[in-house]
Amino acid sequence: MTKPTKTPWPTKDAMQQVYAKKLWGSGNTDFYSGAGSHDTETVQAYLKAVIGFFKSLEIPPVVCDLGCGDFNVGKELVPYTQAYKAVDIVPELIAYNTKRFKSKQLSFETLDLAKDPLPEGDCALLRQVLQHLSNAEIASIVNKLYAYRYVILTEHLPDQEFTPNIDIISGQGIRLKKHSGVALLAPPFNFKVKAAKELVSLPAPGVKGRLVTTLYTVF
């Protein structure tokens, strides 16, 4: 008798488990998004680049933080925006952030990036989010990114040349073990942009690979 195929958990359930079981570490907080959101060198380099870009614009942007996590990074960006819309798939995390972080231009919302309409804005931030998702989910999200003028993407990538976009099941893991990483301009996503500029590239804290942040000008 053939055993039934095990259906992968939905992304929401997988990410709820990540936080409930503290699979990315504890950080002595109820919700912790891992070293990529808390390592001082990593965070400061990212903030310097992104804040510098925001300041270069004539008008402060409306920013959509797609996969805001524990908001240790996002909280530093809010003052440089006209409005900051932070979303995540884990409702308990969004409730926690809503109570903890307050600003007149800040809002939080629970959304599934692959299934739900995304908030309107000028610039989308995706910081170490797509790397945890299947290709089908990424493709769905990419189709929605054309609504933004700018997309700032951060991905954990191998140090050497790699095969882009090898598929995975959504969850806490990423493509690094398959010597792969997310490259939106490559197949099967073929994200069409006006320009691409690398803002930051530095070793990922405590693990192999690099964290690479790229600014895409969409239109």
Give the strand pairing for 150-157 and 210-217: antiparallel
Pairing of strands 163-164, 180-181: parallel
- Residue 5 inside a domain? The answer is no
Mean pLDDT of 136-157: 97
Structural domain count, the chain: 1
pLDDT confidence band for 25 (50 / 70 / 90): low
The torsion angle over the Cα atoms of residues 219, 195, 198 and 192, rounded to 10 degrees, is 80
pLDDT for the residue numbered 35: 72
Q: Is residue 2 part of a domain?
A: no
Alpha-carbon gap, residue 158 to 212, rounded angstroms = 10
pLDDT in tens, 155-212: 999 999 999 999 999 887 899 999 999 999 999 999 999 999 999 999 999 889 999 9
Q: What is the CATH number of the domain that holds 51?
A: 3.40.50.150
Q: Are the beta carbons of 70 and 29 closer than 8 angstroms?
A: yes
Predicted local confidence at residue 36, as pLDDT: 73
187 token code pair: 């197949």
* 12/123: higher pLDDT: 123
Kindly state whether residue 188 falls inside one of the protein's structural domains.
yes
Q: Is residue 145 part of a domain?
A: yes
Residue 6 belongs to a domain: no
**In-domain check, residue 133:** yes
CA dist 16 to 24, 69, 134, 141, 201, Å?
12, 11, 17, 20, 29
Say whether pLDDT at 100 is over 60.
yes
Provide the pLDDT for residue 104: 97
Range(s) of the domain holding residue 204? 11-217
Asked if residue 16 belongs to a domain, the reply is yes
114 pLDDT band (50/70/90 cuts)? very high
The pLDDT value given to residue 173: 84
Per-residue model confidence (pLDDT) at position 6: 43
